[in-house]
Amino acid sequence: MLATLRKPDNVYYDLYEGRTLLVKVSGKEIASPESLNRIVDAIRSFVRNGIQVVFVYGGGVQIDREWNAKHPGEPRPKVDGVGLVDQQIMEEAVIPAWQGIDTVLREVFPDAGFVSQAQLVSKITDAGGDYSEAELLDIQVDLREALSREPLQIIGFVGADPEAHARGEYANTNINADAVVSHISAKCHDFIDEVLLVTETGGVQDIDGKVVPLLTKSAIVQILAGEHLKIKATGGMLKKLQEALAMLENVDKVAIIGSSGVQKEIEYWAGSGTLCVNEDKGTFSQASEHELSVFDQVYTDLAAKGIFRQRSAEELAVLKAHHHVLRIQNSPLAGISLVPVDDEWSEFSALWSGYLKNGIGTMLITRIKELIASSGKKVFALTNSDGGKRFFERAGFVCHGSITEVQAAPPFSLPKPLRDYQVAGGRDPSFVYTFEATP
50-54, 177-181, 359-363, 364-368: least confident range = 359-363
User: Does position 21 have pLDDT exceeding 50, yes or no?
Assistant: yes
User: Does position 414 have pLDDT exceeding 70, yes or no?
Assistant: yes
Summarize the confidence of residues 331-359 as an average pLDDT. Answer: 85
Q: What is the pLDDT of residues 312-332, one digit of tens each?
A: 999 999 999 999 999 888 788
Summarize the confidence of residues 64-76 as an average pLDDT. Answer: 92
Q: Report the C-alpha gap between 337 and 380 in whole angstroms.
A: 12
- Helices and strands, counts by H and E, the chain: 18, 21
Please state, as a whole number, how many other Cβ atoms lie within 10 Å of the Cβ of residue 313.
6
199 φ, ψ (degrees, to nearest 5): -135, 155
* Domains with residue ranges and CATH for the chain: 11-280 (3.40.1160.10), 283-435 (3.40.630.30)
Summarize the confidence of residues 165-181 as an average pLDDT. Answer: 89
User: Does position 4 have pLDDT exceeding 60, yes or no?
Assistant: no
User: Does position 153 have pLDDT exceeding 60, yes or no?
Assistant: yes
Residue whose C-alpha is closest to residue 160's, from 127, 126, 134, 184: 134
Q: Which amino acid is at 302?
A: L
Give the three-state DSSP class for 152: strand
User: Does position 394 have pLDDT exceeding 50, yes or no?
Assistant: yes
User: Does position 190 have pLDDT exceeding 70, yes or no?
Assistant: yes
Which DSSP symbol is given to 205? Answer: B
Residue 8 pLDDT class (50, 70, 90 cuts): very low
User: Does position 148 have pLDDT exceeding 80, yes or no?
Assistant: yes
Q: Report the C-alpha gap between 380 and 260 in whole angstroms.
A: 41
Higher pLDDT: 153 or 235? It is 153
The whole-chain average pLDDT of the chain stands at 87
Q: What is the pTM of this model?
A: 0.85
Higher pLDDT: 230 or 424? It is 230
52-56, 123-127, 318-322, 342-346: least confident range = 123-127
Q: Report the C-alpha gap between 275 and 213 in whole angstroms.
A: 6
Length of the chain: 439
Q: Report yes or no: 143 and 103 within 8 Å, Cβ to Cβ.
A: no
Residue whose C-alpha is closest to residue 157's, from 177, 139, 138: 177
Q: Report yes or no: 370 and 438 within 8 Å, Cβ to Cβ.
A: no
User: Does position 434 have pLDDT exceeding 90, yes or no?
Assistant: no
Question: What's the confidence (pLDDT) of residue 392?
Answer: 86
Q: What is the pLDDT of residues 200-213, one digit of tens each?
A: 888 888 888 888 88
Q: What is the pLDDT of residues 351-371, one digit of tens each?
A: 888 665 567 778 888 898 899
Handedness of CA 407, 412, 413, 418 (dihedral sign): negative
The count of C-alpha atoms lying within 13 angstroms of the C-alpha of 403, restricted to the half-sphere facing its C-beta, is: 18
User: Does position 429 have pLDDT exceeding 80, yes or no?
Assistant: no
With a CB cutoff of 8 Å and minimum separation 6, the contacts of 166 are: none
Summarize the confidence of residues 388-415 as an average pLDDT. Answer: 87
Summarize the confidence of residues 410-418 as an average pLDDT. Answer: 90
Q: What is the pLDDT of residues 250-303, one digit of tens each?
A: 998 999 999 988 988 888 777 788 999 988 888 999 999 989 988 998 899 888
Q: Report the C-alpha gap between 303 and 117 in whole angstroms.
A: 52
Which DSSP symbol is given to 76? Answer: P
Which DSSP symbol is given to 211? Answer: B
Q: Report the C-alpha gap between 197 and 209 in whole angstroms.
A: 19
Higher pLDDT: 197 or 281? It is 197
Q: How far apart are the first and last CA of the chain?
A: 60
Q: Are strands 345-353 and 331-340 parallel, antiparallel or unpaired?
A: antiparallel
User: For the chain, what percent of residues have pLDDT higher than 70?
Assistant: 92
Summarize the confidence of residues 116-140 as an average pLDDT. Answer: 86
Residue 437 pLDDT class (50, 70, 90 cuts): low
